[in-house]
Amino acid sequence: MSSLTLKKKPARIIPGFHLSLGYTMLYVSLLVLLPLSMIFINTMSLSWAEFIAIISDPRAVASYKLSFGTALTAGLLNVVFGTIIAWVLVRYNFPFKRIIDGLVDLPFALPTAVAGIALTSLYAPNGWIGQFFDFKIAFTPLGIIIALTFIGLPFVVRTVQPVLQNISAEIEEASASLGATRLQTFTKVIFPELAPAILTGFSLAFARALGEYGSVVFIAGNMPMKTEITPLIIMTKLEQYDYAGATAIATVMLVTSFVLLFTINIMQWLANRRFVH
């Protein structure tokens, strides 16, 4: 009997499990949970009636609709066009492909205010693009959607790209040899493989768009009840030293975002379940 066989605990192949788990917990708590819980703690200083009054203020309610509506639209637009861009970047070879590939990341790197100013000057009624349209683009929800689509673009492209790269040409050939048309091959074989990645990209782009402030304030015009986004309302309240009011609205955003992201995660888990058993 060697002493090794007496050890009941199975040995892990890669060491450092406890250390890395402890570190992860601490990191997530310090960086995510603690700051977020401050929002609730600050909100606690309000009475329930005050809280309800603040969050159900018509101006706030209009801003929720605008923020969630535009973020959702921008996320969906990015799903469509981001997937197309990822497809083109993976499947085709063309001159300056690497440069275009690099350009995709630019919305990440650009200070959002710069993006906002640039987009506003383009889409303003007398701007380069805005002048060709009979209706206003900048200073309307349409302008907000454009800004949010801009800043959310890299998410879908960068999540779909590697998955698409890993899909072997063989399964497309198998589909074709079984008599499927190209459209059927895409909808029945390729898209289901991409779906989890697209969902991830969508939730990232959507979450980013919800919290976006810098690029939107310029192009939105910030008219109360019309083009005022929720982060702006929070900002306004903060500037008036109404911390409790600001955190009350932030609570609404936080809870709603959490519920939405949680739902997306469940959908993703369902979509992924078949791949990993």
Partner 1 sequence: MSIQIQNVSKRFGTFQALQDISIDIQSGELIALLGPSGSGKTSLLRVIAGLETSDVGEIFFDGQSITNHHPKERNVGFVFQHYALFRHMTVFENVAYGLRVRPRKTRPSKAEIEAKVMELLRLVKLENFADRYPTQLSGGQRQRVALARALAVEPKVLLLDEPFGALDAKVRKELRRWLRKLHDDFHITSIFVTHDQEEALDVADRIVVMNNGKIEQIGSPDEVYTHPNSPFVYDFLGNVNLFKGRLHNGKLTHGEFAIDVPDSHAHTQDDAVGYVRPHDTQIEKTAVTGTVPVTVSHIHLLGPIVQIELRREDMDEFLEAELSKEHFHVLQLNVGDHVFVRPKQLKVFIPEDFSI
What is the binding site for partner 1 (CB under 8 A)? 168, 170-171, 173-181, 184, 188-189, 192-193, 274-277
Closer of 22 and 192 to partner 1 (Cβ): 192
Residue 71 CB neighbours (<10 A)? 26
Pick the closer one to partner 1 by CB: 92 or 275.
275
Distance CA 49, CA 51 (A): 5
Q: Please, what is the minimum distance in Å from the beta carbon of residue 276 to partner 1?
A: 7
Q: For partner 1, which is the closer residue by CB, 191 or 262? A: 191
Q: Which is nearer to partner 1, 1 or 276 (CB)?
A: 276
* Rounded-to-integer distance, Cα 253 and Cα 59, Å: 15
Report how far residue 213's alpha carbon sits from residue 217's, in angstroms, rounded to the nearest whole number: 6
Which CB sits closer to partner 1, 9 or 274?
Answer: 274
CB of 160 to partner 1, least distance (A): 16
Considering the complex, what minimum distance in angstroms separates the CB of residue 200 from partner 1? Answer: 16
Alpha-carbon distance 74 to 202, whole Å? Answer: 9
Residue (105 or 173) nearer to partner 1, CB = 173
Q: How far is the CB of 123 from partner 1 (least distance, A)?
A: 40
Handedness of CA 77, 82, 87, 89 (dihedral sign): positive
Count of alpha carbons within 13 Å of 63, Cβ hemisphere only?
29
Sign of CA dihedral 3, 9, 13, 19: negative
Tell me which DSSP letter residue 12 carries.
P
Q: Angle at CA 223, nearest 5°, toward 114 and 118?
A: 15
CB of 196 to partner 1, least distance (A): 9
Name the region of 39 (left: φ>0; alpha: ψ -120 to 50; beta: rest). alpha
